[in-house]
């Protein structure tokens, strides 16, 4: 495992197969695709920045790298990808075996070039542009939270950045911050799409001049700096105007009938914002920061009608294709994403919706069933406050405990699911529809239940914060790929958009953003990770001679981007991986493959793949697909005697993989029905942009136990880990739970930790907090921290994630004294089945 | 010459009784409320403590003692020299004493005889009774005239008309209330470059002294009690008829003898009914005080003929028009009783159950008052029990005199629930200001903002007054005025193709809540848009979006707009098509206007432009919504802001009503043919008036659908359901009952020139857009000729066919017709916009203002000083002929809208210095602002102008003219009696008319 991490810290790459199944047939048998999770601008400890332009191969344009064969005498290098012989240019004349340029150092497989830093020390750095798009259909309280967060965020903006402001509700207000006399806004209709040309005309950009013919894009193309500066102003100049607009910002004044939702034209506002940026600052780094507090009900991107009696689409509706506005909205945002990608601008989404429709509306499913199988499902939609939820939880608990246990036809059981529902308790703002625009542009996304919640507030602060934990927001990235000719690219699952640069490298099978060898990454940051999926096209050939010549595959990843310092940079990562194949050496190659198997990376690739398939393929059964894949993998790489489940064993390289799959099956990525489409979209967006380590936490939360007896130690993600005298820290990426066992909780309630003689207890209480804080500091979006006690209602956050080794069906309560009310199978059962099926 | 009753100027009656200095100046500015009160029948007049005043009882009681009604005994001597009969021909009805028809030749022959035409009543015998303190404007004794006569050339003495006016000119200055008034006058406009002009600031110096009553029997020209025999004539020699040459004809007519308007100088007292008979009203253009004794005051409703022809044939024969001029909210004379308000409670006013006519003095109660017969449909209704009252011996209800609705021609009913679709809406004033480059650069925006800023102060206070503001260039800018913290917020609506309102509320805010914001905003708008380079103006869209505002459930009522320029249609040069330009360009504005009307939005447009703006199209909106077009062309930032302000101010402060619906009902036999004015018509019977004010007049043309019975009476009732500015729903019911006649000569005798000619004007105005000008001109001329022909044919007992005989009542018809033909609207050389404006202006103009609009008034002002002592502010009128314009004189000509001051080339520089502070004619400024300098002449001029403003309810656009300049040409184009490129001279025209009559007679 450690070697993979080492590779990652050198190149920012994790691959499930570090030894690649060498033929098409082989690789398809390996179930987990040949793929890589690559973080293009991950800060690497040993990276070098070269102040000159890279040397490129004449034919394939790949960049000179340590894997090139160099003929020092002839001053020639041979490209490892296309085997083209290239001459070194005159400035490489002094090259020799002991005088290598940095890019040829063997361990500089990843290196950065910065072309312009040498030419000019102070290139006019294009200022960063932040266009705030603010929803005004908020309740007063939320508005207050948002205002204070925004004005804080404004202070944190870089001084040279340009700022613009758009607010929207029923109508879209574009604030002309540069108008000195009185506050001035342009008002656009919410239900009418406006093209960029119309916008230019309406905002009288060409009032003083004849309109130039052709495409209008920014100052270079005839738009005067003066008119741009009406809407986008340097931070210092518009501080007063911005703050006064913010201060005066009122709830959308158009009245909302009680049986209706607020009229919210999110899509129009975003489209106007995109057009405004497209007109003013095309091609330079700009972010649209959208703060949205509810579902869009107006315009092309509406996700639900204004009528409150029409429910917001659920996963069920999407599955049955009965969400009438969904496809239209997605189509709209697809168009928007194209526009944004074309302009190189990012859409960041901050969706905070405390459901204004009905408080906390949740779907509360009460399973009513009798043994052996359930008879019916009773769906009850209710509104809950947190305390009400706690009350009903304990009520159900009570009923459950009063029902005679055992087997019988009259056995009534209550299953309470929807735990994730309560995690965020959100209504919908349309993240599912917006996902495409955010993801393609590499935008950030934060989903929280309120603008007053730390999840939002701290996340927003993190974006602008400088220092150790800054996000390293960069922009205008272009990602390109080169690889050996026996490898083809199926596509990328991750925050990028295809530039539709087709080439011989493109595979016919397309996954994610495929059919191209170049991708646009409008926004990218340190954490951004792409999942590249390859296809091995090498045909099985008995001819062993070819194999002997070269059993290496080469990959080169090129990332041009505007570094957050303003510099344009190119990062080049060149990888080489050995491949194994050949019928003659099956056992050997098996061992090789297994040795190069990165279970974490594999789990993450599977997770991204299953999410992607669930989104794109109709009638896709993720559980079945995952189970099949796992069984297939186990039966291929497992060690067993046929038809003997007990003989089954897995190599340590693969041993945790089934557990990852078990948890993935239970995770929010697969079990979507407990979540709203928005939440699912949100989780997936984060999954698709995070690196392997963080993604693994999402799939399989980590659990740390703290007790007097020992220091912090990892605990089994199992209900059995619960103990009265332990504190558990669960990190499921989005949520961190500090769970006090019953005894600890009692002590805490009694306030022992405040007494000097119980300092040890205080330390014990503090330890998980410190641990959580250190995790929270590094994470974006900031996770939600839940501190709860055993048997408390909030404990559900923990219980939902634990392996239900003890349920109400279990024979006896565990020592920890907790059971989980679920019908989900426990990991043991799962493994039993797996073994049984794998050996068939 | 306080002869015109100013229909508009608010004149607190009490003014005359109080020392003017102590009285609040009764101008618009200070007294908007009293105006409103006046409108609403609050006891504006009676409230004043003037018990001892001779008003109003005295005049009428005196009248009774005067030998007034029966025909003319007192008159003949006054009218002419009885011993000079020869030139006069006795008109057909014969038996009447004063023979007024003469032959021109004879007239000429008898040259030297002061032939006093009908109007020329030398008021010698009307010496003011010395006892009565305030004097009426009374003519000087003839002796004065005699005194002046000698220096005149002999012809002058033979010019009775001129003569009489000269006679009146020497001022007999009684110790009049005016003496004090001038003290209160304010410094001139220039002190307030942005229109805080003198006019409104000044006290009602011109308030006619109520004691006019002192003059027991005012001289009358037309308003004689029933059988009025005066029938004047103009004579044309027989020779003329044969020889075509107009010159020849002219040579034979003494131009000084032909009829000209003689404004009566004193106030006429008028009872609407006497002896249970309708009393023919005084001319609309005269100054009169009405006592409502059953028929409505002629201010509210007057008929072109004061007797209704029994049959359609009779009317056709006469060639005259039968139409009503309805001005339901006209401002009464301050000495008049206000309209009384009657509240019938929940049940609402008593109405005929069949025709829905409102109860009025002419409903006949029968059967001990248990039933009543409707005077419109003849249906017999049951009297509601609570309304029952026994009849007296005279057949009238015993309570008739106590109940205004049974004894007054005009009453106002409080509308009950059933008259309201919803609660009356608050008055919303929405101002829309053009801020495109042109407007900014010409100063129009600044002027508009300044005007609005001042006018805000005059808007009625209280929660019912809401205000909003928007500006526009190629986009529309709204302003959120309701902001607790800071400045107003500007909201730009850029999509003018598809407009919408950017806010649901807060664009229109209660005045009291946003006054400061509004003032701040209005001050900053001109500078804010200083850099504006947007040339286009999205007027249509701007208007439309205001309409969207109206869609907002918070309604909307009045919309005031300032507009400068608009992308106009390109002007088609093809002359044949020219009239098409006078039609609206497309239907969108019309459709929009109708929507406006539906939402009860009244739009007024102020056009301040330097170029063509296509008024024809724009005007559709104000016309349909009961609004008005104001036109400032070319706009001058120097001289026009004052007028703009005053126009706007009058616009918002004048008595007005909202959400009005009007219907006119007629007795059986007559029905309404058509309504004509500024309104929207959605149902054939009713007109919808989103806004109606005291200046708006609706012409109602009538037609017979049956014969009427001779000797019966025909009643007309105008019911106007409207909301007052205070938000009360009222029904103003105006009833006029006129006798029917089957005798043609009666028709001619009772014809009313002013009304009839106003009717002509409106018809001409409505025809111009759709017909070639020549045709309209011909039609107008023919109308005139036909009437005269009919008179000549059937009424005049004439001998010589060489004489042109005019009915006394209509003797000025040819002159007016000529004026009409030569007016802007019918001239081919005018600008399209000016003609459009002319057409629009006429469409809602009231009768008293209609005549001067085409036949302006000209007075000399260089010799104002010499009239020291005359109590009349307005010097004698000079006929509109170059002959009377001397190079050494300064003349003021006004038509109620424009006021031209012509300065002759050789005017005494002293006078120039005094009046205009310039030393020679060459220094005449292009843009003129009237200022008051510290000398009596200047003061007099200012007084004069203010008096005219008061009379016309208009601030007047003042312009200096000089010879050899386009301005001079403009001035001379008003010289109607001259021969010019646009038409014949007056004399020639008479000859032409006469020849046509002769032709038709002989054919």
Mean pLDDT of A68-77: 89
Is the per-residue pLDDT at B210 higher than 70?
Answer: no
Q: What is the mean pLDDT of residues B947-958?
A: 87
Is the per-residue pLDDT at B49 higher than 80? Answer: no
With cut-offs at 50, 70 and 90, classify the pLDDT of residue A398.
low
Q: Taking 90 as the threshold, does the pLDDT of residue A531 lie above it?
A: yes
With a CB cutoff of 8 Å and minimum separation 6, the contacts of B691 are B557, B558, B602, B625, B626, B627, B656, B657, B658, B660
**DSSP helix/strand/coil, A795:** helix
Range A170-198 average pLDDT: 85
Residue B153 pLDDT: 39
- Quick one: pLDDT at residue B106? 37
The CATH number of A693-839 is 3.40.20.10
Per-residue pLDDT band for B234 (boundaries 50, 70, 90) equals very low
Look at residues A422, A403, A424, A406 and name the one whose alpha carbon lies nearest to residue A414: A403
Tens digits of per-residue pLDDT, B529-588? 877 666 666 665 555 555 544 433 333 334 444 444 343 333 333 333 444 555 666 677
Of B7-16, B686-695, B850-859, the range with the lowest mean pLDDT is: B7-16
Q: Interior CA angle at A214 toward A208 and A215, to 5°? A: 90
**Range B43-67 average pLDDT:** 35
> A357-389 pLDDT, tens per residue?
333 333 333 333 333 333 333 333 344 445 555
Does A187 contact B498 at a Cβ distance shorter than 8 Å? Answer: no
C-alpha span between B656 and A675 (Å, rounded): 63
Predicted pLDDT of residue B39: 35
Q: How many CB atoms lie within 10 A of CB B928?
A: 19
For residue B485, the chain A residues in CB contact (below 8 A) are 247-248
The verdict on A247 touching B (C-beta cutoff 8 Å) is: yes
Cα distance between residue A528 and residue A690, in whole Å:
6
Residue in chain B lying closest to A248 (CA): B485
Q: Please give the residue of chain A at the shortest CA–CA distance from B520.
A: A182
A72: tokens are 């020092």
Query: By three-state DSSP, how is residue B147 classified?
Result: helix
Closest residue on chain B to A252 (Cα): B503
**What pTM did the predictor assign?**
0.74
Average confidence (pLDDT) over A706-725: 87
Q: Which pLDDT score is estimated for B546?
A: 52
Nearest chain B Cα distance for residue A454, angstroms? 30
Q: How confident is the model at residue B871 (pLDDT cuts 50, 70, 90)?
A: low
Q: What is the mean pLDDT of residues A664-671?
A: 88
pLDDT at B973 over 80: yes
Q: Which residue of B has its CA nearest to A188?
A: B493
In this structure, of A33-37, B17-21, B659-663, the range with the lowest mean pLDDT score is: B17-21
Query: Per-residue pLDDT tens for A466-485?
Result: 777 778 888 888 999 998 88
Task: Give per-residue pLDDT as tens, B365-395.
Answer: 998 889 999 999 999 999 998 898 888 888 8
With beta carbons under 8 A apart, name residues in chain A contacting B474.
204, 207
Q: For an interface test with B, give the residue of A173, A178, A179, A181 to mutate (most B CBs within 10 A).
A: A181
CB atoms within 10 A of CB B245: 11
pLDDT for position A491: 93
What's the gap in Å between the CA of B526 and the closest CA on chain A?
Answer: 11
Please choose, from the candidates B859, B963, B860, B960, the residue with its C-alpha nearest in 3D space to the C-alpha of residue B906.
B963
Q: Which of B488, B490, B494 lies nearest to residue A203, judging by beta carbons?
A: B494
Tell me which of A314-318, A518-522, A538-542, B487-491 is least confident. A538-542
Q: pLDDT (tens digit, 9 = 90+) per residue, A726-772?
A: 899 999 998 899 999 989 999 989 988 898 888 889 999 999 999 99
pLDDT band at B493 (very low <50, low <70, confident <90, very high): confident
The mean pLDDT value of chain B amounts to: 71
Q: How confident is the model at residue A692 (pLDDT cuts 50, 70, 90)?
A: very high
Query: Residue B982: pLDDT above 60?
Result: yes
Question: What are the start-end ranges of the H helices in B319-443?
Answer: 404-407, 437-442
> Is-contact A68 A85, C-beta < 8 A?
no
What is the average per-residue pLDDT within B793-809?
76
Instruction: Name which residue leads in pLDDT, B127 or B363.
Output: B363
For residue B621, give every residue at least 6 positions away whose Cβ sits within 8 Å of its Cβ, in sequence order, or none: B543, B589, B592, B593, B596, B603, B605, B627
pLDDT value at position B69?
38
Whether residue B730 is predicted with pLDDT greater than 60 in this model: the reply is yes
Tell me the per-residue pLDDT of B826-849, one tens digit each, with 9 for 90 and over.
887 778 888 888 888 998 899 999
Q: Hey, how many other C-beta atoms are within 10 angstroms of the C-beta on B402?
A: 10
pLDDT value of residue B807: 86
**Residues in chain B within 8 Å Cβ distance of A184:** 477, 489-492
Distance of alpha carbon A9 from the chain centroid: 20
Task: State in words which class domain A129-206+222-356+428-464 has.
Answer: alpha beta
More confident residue, B148 or A435: A435
Bigger pLDDT: A748 or A353?
A: A748
Smallest CA-to-CA distance from A520 within A480, A578, A489 is with A480
- Tokens 């009218």, located at residue: B79
User: pLDDT digits over A552-592, tens only?
Assistant: 889 999 999 888 777 888 999 999 988 887 655 566 677 88
Q: Stretch A94-122: mean pLDDT, rounded?
A: 77
- Nearest CA of chain B to the CA of A230: how many Å? 13
Which residues pair with residue B492 across a beta bridge? A186, B477
Interface of B with A (CB under 8 A): 474-475, 477-478, 483, 485-495, 498, 500, 502-506, 521, 524, 527-528, 532-534
Phi, psi of A204 (to 5 degrees): 45, 55
pLDDT at site B582? 59
**A residues 180-219 near B, CB within 8 Å?**
181-189, 192, 194, 198, 201-204, 207-208
**Interchain CB contact of A171 with B (< 8 Å):** yes
- Rounded mean pLDDT, B676-704: 89
What pLDDT was estimated at residue A661?
Answer: 92
How many other C-beta atoms lie within 10 A of the C-beta of residue B894? 26
Residue B698 has pLDDT above 90, yes or no: yes
If pLDDT is split at 50, 70 and 90, which confidence band does A125 have? low
By mean pLDDT, which of B9-13, B453-457, B715-719, B779-783 is the weakest? B9-13
Count of pairs with CB atoms under 8 A, one residue in A, one in B: 80
Q: Which residue has the higher pLDDT, A269 or B222?
A: A269
Look-up: residue for tokens 């005989």?
A: B805
Domain boundaries, chain A: 1-117+473-539+551-597, 129-206+222-356+428-464, 693-839
Nearest-10 Cα torsion for A702, A705, A706, A708: -160
Nearest to B533 among A184, A208, A254 (CB): A208
Give the residue with greater pLDDT, B94 vs A386: A386
- Give contacts of A201 with chain B, Cβ < 8 Å: 494
pLDDT at B271 over 80: yes
Chain B CB within 8 Å of residue A253 CB: yes
Express as a percent the part of chain B with pLDDT over 70: 67
| pLDDT at B735 > cutoff 90 | yes
Structure tokens at A629: 């894949």
Q: Which residues of B touch A185 (CB under 8 A)?
A: 489-492, 502
DSSP, res B813? H
Hey, are the CB atoms on B495 and A194 less than 8 Å from each other?
yes
Q: Which CATH superfamily is domain A1-117+473-539+551-597 in?
A: beta-sandwich domain of Sec23/24 (2.60.40.1670)
State how far residue A747 is from chain B, nearest Cα, in angstroms: 52
CA distance A61 to A518: 13
Count of H helices and E strands in chain B? 30, 31
pLDDT tens per residue across span A790-828 = 887 778 778 878 887 776 665 555 555 666 666 677 888
Q: List chain A residues with CB under 8 Å of B534.
A: 204, 207
Residue B639 pLDDT class (50, 70, 90 cuts): confident
Higher pLDDT, B271 or A470: B271
- The tokens describing B504, both together, are 């649901």
Cα-based distances in Å from B872 to A298, B265, B286: 70, 8, 14
Tokens 């698709």 -> residue: A688
pLDDT at res. B37: 37
* Tokens found for residue B900: 């031209």
Q: How far is B912 from chain A (nearest CA, A)?
A: 46
Of A187, A194, A204, which has the smallest distance from its Cβ to B493's Cβ?
A187
In this complex, do B534 and A207 lie within 8 Å of one another by their Cβ atoms?
A: yes
For residue A336, give how far its alpha carbon lies from the nearest alpha carbon of chain B (Å). Answer: 21
Give the best residue of B449, B469, B486, B495 to mutate against chain A (max A CB count within 10 A): B495
CA atoms of A200 and B329, how far apart (whole Å): 50
Residues A213 and A153 sit within 8 Å (Cβ to Cβ):
no
ipTM: 0.77
For B486, the closest of A171, A187, A244 (CB atoms) is A244
Instruction: Reply yes or no on whether the pLDDT at A414 is more than 50.
Output: no
- B24-40 per-position pLDDT tens digit: 333 334 343 433 333 33
Mean pLDDT value across chain A: 81
pLDDT, position A695: 93
Whether the CB-CB separation of B698 and B687 falls below 8 Å is answered with yes
Chain B contact set for A194 (CB, 8 A): 495
| Confidence band of B667 (pLDDT split at 50, 70, 90) | very high
pLDDT tens-place string over residues A448-464 = 878 888 889 989 888 88
């Amino acid at each position: 495992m450690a070697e993979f991490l080492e590779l990652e810290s050198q190149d920012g790459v994790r691959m499930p197969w570090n030894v690649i199944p060498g033929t098409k047939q082989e690789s398809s048998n390996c179930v987990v695709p040949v793929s890589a999770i690559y973080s293009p601008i991950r800060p690497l400890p040993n990276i070098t920045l070269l102040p000159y332009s890279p040397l490129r191969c004449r034919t394939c344009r790949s960049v000179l790298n340590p894997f090139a064969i160099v003929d020092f005498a002839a001053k020639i290098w041979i490209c490892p990808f296309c085997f083209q012989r290239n001459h070194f240019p005159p400035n490489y004349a002094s090259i020799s075996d002991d005088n290598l340029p940095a890019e040829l150092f063997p361990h500089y497989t990843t290196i950065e070039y910065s072309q312009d830093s040498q030419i000019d020390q102070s290139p006019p750095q294009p200022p960063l542009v932040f266009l705030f798009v603010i929803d005004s259909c908020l309740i007063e309280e939320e508005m207050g939270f948002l205002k204070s967060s925004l004005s804080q965020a404004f202070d944190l903006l870089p001084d040279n950045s340009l700022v613009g402001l758009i607010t929207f509700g029923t109508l879209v207000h574009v604030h002309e911050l540069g108008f000195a006399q009185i506050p001035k806004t342009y008002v656009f209709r919410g239900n009418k799409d406006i093209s960029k040309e119309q916008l230019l005309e309406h905002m009288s950009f060409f009032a003083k001049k004849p309109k130039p013919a052709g495409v209008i894009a920014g100052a270079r193309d005839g738009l005067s700096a003066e008119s741009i500066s009406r809407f986008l102003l340097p931070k210092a100049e518009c501080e007063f105007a911005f703050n006064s607009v913010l201060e005066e910002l009122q709830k959308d004044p158009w009245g909302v009938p009680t049986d209706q939702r607020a009229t919210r034209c999110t899509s129009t506002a975003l489209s106007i914002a995109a057009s405004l940026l497209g007109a003013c600052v095309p091609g330079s780094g700009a972010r649209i920061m959208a703060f949205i507090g509810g579902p869009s009900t107006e315009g092309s991107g509406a996700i639900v009608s204004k009528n409150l009696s029409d429910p917001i689409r659920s996963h069920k509706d999407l599955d049955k294709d009965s969400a009438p506005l969904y496809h239209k909205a997605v189509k709209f945002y697809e168009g928007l994403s194209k526009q944004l990608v074309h302009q190189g601008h990012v859409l960041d989404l901050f969706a905070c919706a405390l459901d204004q429709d009905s408080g906390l509306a949740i779907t509360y499913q009460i399973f009513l069933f009798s043994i052996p199988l359930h008879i019916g499902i009773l769906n009850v939609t209710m509104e809950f406050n947190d305390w009400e939820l706690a009350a009903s939880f304990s009520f159900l608990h009570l009923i459950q405990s009063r029902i005679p246990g055992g087997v019988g036809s009259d056995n009534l059981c209550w299953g309470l699911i929807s735990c994730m529902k309560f995690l965020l308790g959100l209504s919908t703002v349309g993240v599912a529809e917006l996902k495409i625009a955010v993801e393609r542009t590499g935008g950030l996304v934060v989903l929280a239940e309120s603008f007053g919640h730390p999840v939002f507030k701290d996340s927003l602060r993190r974006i602008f914060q400088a220092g150790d934990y800054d996000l390293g927001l960069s922009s205008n990235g272009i990602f390109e790929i080169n690889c050996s000719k026996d490898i083809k690219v199926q596509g990328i699952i991750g925050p990028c958009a295809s530039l539709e640069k087709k080439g011989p490298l493109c595979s016919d099978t397309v996954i994610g953003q495929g059919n191209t060898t170049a991708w646009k990454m409008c926004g990218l940051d340190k954490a951004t990770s792409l999942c590249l999926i390859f296809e091995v096209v090498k045909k099985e050939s008995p001819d062993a001679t070819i194999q002997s010549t070269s059993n290496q595959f080469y990959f080169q990843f090129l990332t041009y981007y505007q570094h957050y310092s303003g510099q344009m940079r190119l990062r080049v990562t060149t990888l080489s991986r050995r491949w194994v194949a050949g019928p003659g050496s099956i056992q050997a190659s098996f061992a090789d493959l297994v040795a190069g198997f990165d279970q974490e990376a594999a789990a993450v690739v599977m997770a991204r793949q299953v999410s992607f398939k669930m989104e794109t393929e109709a009638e896709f059964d993720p559980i079945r697909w995952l189970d099949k894949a796992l069984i297939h993998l186990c039966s291929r790489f497992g060690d067993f005697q046929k038809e003997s489940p007990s003989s089954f064993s897995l190599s340590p390289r693969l041993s945790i993989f089934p557990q990852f799959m078990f948890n993935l099956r239970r995770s929010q990525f697969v079990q979507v029905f407990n979540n709203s489409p928005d939440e699912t979209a949100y989780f997936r967006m984060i999954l698709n942009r995070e690196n392997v380590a963080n993604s693994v936490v999402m799939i399989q939360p980590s659990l740390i136990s703290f007790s007097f007896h020992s220091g912090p130690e990892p605990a089994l993600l199992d209900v059995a880990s619960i103990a009265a005298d332990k504190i558990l820290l669960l990190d499921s990426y989005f949520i961190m739970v500090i769970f006090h066992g019953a005894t600890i909780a009692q002590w805490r309630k009694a306030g022992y930790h405040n007494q000097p003689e119980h300092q040890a207890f205080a330390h014990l209480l503090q330890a998980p907090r410190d641990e959580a804080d250190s995790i929270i500091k590094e994470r974006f979006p900031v996770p939600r921290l839940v501190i709860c006690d055993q048997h408390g209602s909030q404990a559900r956050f923990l219980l939902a994630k634990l392996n239900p080794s003890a349920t109400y069906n279990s024979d006896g309560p565990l020592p920890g004294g907790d059971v989980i009310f679920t019908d989900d199978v426990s990991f043991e059962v799962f493994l039993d089945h797996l073994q049984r099926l794998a050996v068939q | 010459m306080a002869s015109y009753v100013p229909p508009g100027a608010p004149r607190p009656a009490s003014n005359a009784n109080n020392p003017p200095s102590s009285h609040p100046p009764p101008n618009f500015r200070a007294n908007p409320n009293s105006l409103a009160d006046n409108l609403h029948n609050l006891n504006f007049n009676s409230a004043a403590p003037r018990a001892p005043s001779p008003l109003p009882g005295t005049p009428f009681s005196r009248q009774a003692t005067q030998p007034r009604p029966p025909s003319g005994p007192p008159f003949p001597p006054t009218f002419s020299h009885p011993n000079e009969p020869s030139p006069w021909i006795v008109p057909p009805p014969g038996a009447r004493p004063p023979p007024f028809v003469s032959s021109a030749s004879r007239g000429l022959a008898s040259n030297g005889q002061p032939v006093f035409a009908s109007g020329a009543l030398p008021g010698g015998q009307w010496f003011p009774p010395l006892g009565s303190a305030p004097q009426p404007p009374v003519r000087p004794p003839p002796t004065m005239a005699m005194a002046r006569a000698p220096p005149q050339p002999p012809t002058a003495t033979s010019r009775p008309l001129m003569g009489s006016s000269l006679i009146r000119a020497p001022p007999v200055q009684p110790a009049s209330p005016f003496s004090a008034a001038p003290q209160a006058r304010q410094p001139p406009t220039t002190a307030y470059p942005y229109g805080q002009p003198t006019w409104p600031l000044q006290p009602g110096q011109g308030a006619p002294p109520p004691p006019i009553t002192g003059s027991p029997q005012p001289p009358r020209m037309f308003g004689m009690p029933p059988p009025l025999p005066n029938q004047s004539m103009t004579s044309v020699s027989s020779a003329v008829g044969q020889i075509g040459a107009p010159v020849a004809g002219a040579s034979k007519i003494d131009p000084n003898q032909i009829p000209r308007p003689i404004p009566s100088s004193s106030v006429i007292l008028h009872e609407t009914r006497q002896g249970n008979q309708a009393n023919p009203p005084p001319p609309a253009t005269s100054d009169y005080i009405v006592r409502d004794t059953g028929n409505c005051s002629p201010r509210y409703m007057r008929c072109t003929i004061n007797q209704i022809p029994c049959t359609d044939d009779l009317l056709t024969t006469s060639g005259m028009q039968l139409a009503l001029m309805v001005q339901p909210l006209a401002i009464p004379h301050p000495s008049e009783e206000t309209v009384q308000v009657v509240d019938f409670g929940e049940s609402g006013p008593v109405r005929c159950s069949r025709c829905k006519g409102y109860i009025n003095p002419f409903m006949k109660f029968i059967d001990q008052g248990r039933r009543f017969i409707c005077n419109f449909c003849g249906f017999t209704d049951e009297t509601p029990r609570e309304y029952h009252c026994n009849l007296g011996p005279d057949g009238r209800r015993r309570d008739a005199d106590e109940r205004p609705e049974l004894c007054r021609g005009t009453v106002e009913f409080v509308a009950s629930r059933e008259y309201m679709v919803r609660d009356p809406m608050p008055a919303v004033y929405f101002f829309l200001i053009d801020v495109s480059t042109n407007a900014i650069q010409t100063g129009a925006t600044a002027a508009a903002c300044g005007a609005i800023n001042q006018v805000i102060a005059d808007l009625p206070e209280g929660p019912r007054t809401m205000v909003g503001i928007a500006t526009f260039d190629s986009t529309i800018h709204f302003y959120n005025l309701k902001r607790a913290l800071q400045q107003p917020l500007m909201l730009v609506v850029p999509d003018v193709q598809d407009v919408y309102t950017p806010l649901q509320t807060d664009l229109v805010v209660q005045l009291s809540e946003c006054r400061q914001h509004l003032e701040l905003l209005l001050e900053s708008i001109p500078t804010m848009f200083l850099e504006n380079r947007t040339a286009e103006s999205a007027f249509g869209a701007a208007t439309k979006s205001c309409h969207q505002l109206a869609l907002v459930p918070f309604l909307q009522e009045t919309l005031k707009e300032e507009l400068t320029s608009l992308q106009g249609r390109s002007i088609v040069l093809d002359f044949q098509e020219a009239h098409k330009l006078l039609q609206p360009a497309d239907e969108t504005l019309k459709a929009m206007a109708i929507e406006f009307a539906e939402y009860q939005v009244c739009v007024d447009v102020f056009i301040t432009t330097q170029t063509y703006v296509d008024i024809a199209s724009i005007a559709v909106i104000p016309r349909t919504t009961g609004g008005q077009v104001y036109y400032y062309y070319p706009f001058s930032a120097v001289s026009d802001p004052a007028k703009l302000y005053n126009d706007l101010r009058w616009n918002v402060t004048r008595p007005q009503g909202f959400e009005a619906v009007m219907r006119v009902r007629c007795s059986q036999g007559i029905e309404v043919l058509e309504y004509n004015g500024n309104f929207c018509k959605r149902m054939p019977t009713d007109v919808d008036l989103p806004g109606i004010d005291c200046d708006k007049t609706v012409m109602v043309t009538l037609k017979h659908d049956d014969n009427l019975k001779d000797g019966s009476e025909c009643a007309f009732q105008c019911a106007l359901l409207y909301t007052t500015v205070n938000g009360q729903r009222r029904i103003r019911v105006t009833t006029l009952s006129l006798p029917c006649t089957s005798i043609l000569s009666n028709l001619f005798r009772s014809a009313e020139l002013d009304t009839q000619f106003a009717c002509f004007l409106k018809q001409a105005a409505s025809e111009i857009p759709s017909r070639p000008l020549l045709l309209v001109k011909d039609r107008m001329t023919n109308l005139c000729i036909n009437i005269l022909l009919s008179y000549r044919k059937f009424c005049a007992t004439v001998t010589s066919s060489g004489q042109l005989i005019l009915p006394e009542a209509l003797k000025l018809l040819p002159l007016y017709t000529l004026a009409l033909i030569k007016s802007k609207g019918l001239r081919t050389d005018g600008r399209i916009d000016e003609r459009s404006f002319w057409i629009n202006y006429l469409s809602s103009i009231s009768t008293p203002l209609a005549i001067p609009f085409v036949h302006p008034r000209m007075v000399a002002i260089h010799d104002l000083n010499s009239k020291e002592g005359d109590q009349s502010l307005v010097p004698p009128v000079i006929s509109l002929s170059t002959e009377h314009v001397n190079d050494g004189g300064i003349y003021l000509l006004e038509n109620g809208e424009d006021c031209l001051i012509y300065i002759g080339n050789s005017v005494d520089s002293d006078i120039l210095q005094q009046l205009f502070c310039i030393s020679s004619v060459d220094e005449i400024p292009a843009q003129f602002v009237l200022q008051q300098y510290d000398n009596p002449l200047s003061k007099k001029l200012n007084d004069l102008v203010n008096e005219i403003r008061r009379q016309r309810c208009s601030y007047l656009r003042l312009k200096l003219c000089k010879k050899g300049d386009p301005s001079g040409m403009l001035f001379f184009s008003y010289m109607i009696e001259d021969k010019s490129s646009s038409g014949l001279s007056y004399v020639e025209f008479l000859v032409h008319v006469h020849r046509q009559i002769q032709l038709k007679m002989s054919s």
